[in-house]
Amino acid sequence: GEDVEQSLFLSVREGDSSVINCTYTDSSSTYLYWYKQEPGAGLQLLTYIFSNMDMKQDQRLTVLLNKKDKHLSLRIADTQTGDSAIYFCAESILRNAGNMLTFGGGTRLMVKP
């Protein structure tokens, strides 16, 4: 099946690191993504990683990919209250129209001051 799974909720203190985890199913996924959704808004692409990479760093964000275990994680360093949002992991699945995104259910990150 095409299931992308994430834990529902994560709570951290301001200044700590946050780690959001995701497992996916399709070993042929070429790209894996992290999107952020703030209240009342659509999804915003945070970062993505190509499947032949193990790690990608972009300022406070670090993405780790374990292809063998089909596990993806997003680490946010020095988490701020403005990082409170829902974070979605997505994998690309080949469909008739080309590679399409399949999303996980989202992890709600709450950052406490």
DSSP 68: T
Residues that bind other proteins (CB under 8 A): 4, 29-31, 40-45, 48, 88, 92, 95-106
* Residue among 61 and 101 whose Cβ is closer to other proteins: 101
Strands (E), 1-113: 5-6, 9-13, 18-23, 31-37, 43-50, 55-58, 61-66, 71-76, 85-95, 98-103, 107-112
Q: How far is the CB of 113 from other proteins (least distance, A)?
A: 27
Nearest approach in angstroms of CB 78 to other proteins is 25
Q: In terms of CB distance, is 40 or 82 closer to other proteins? A: 40
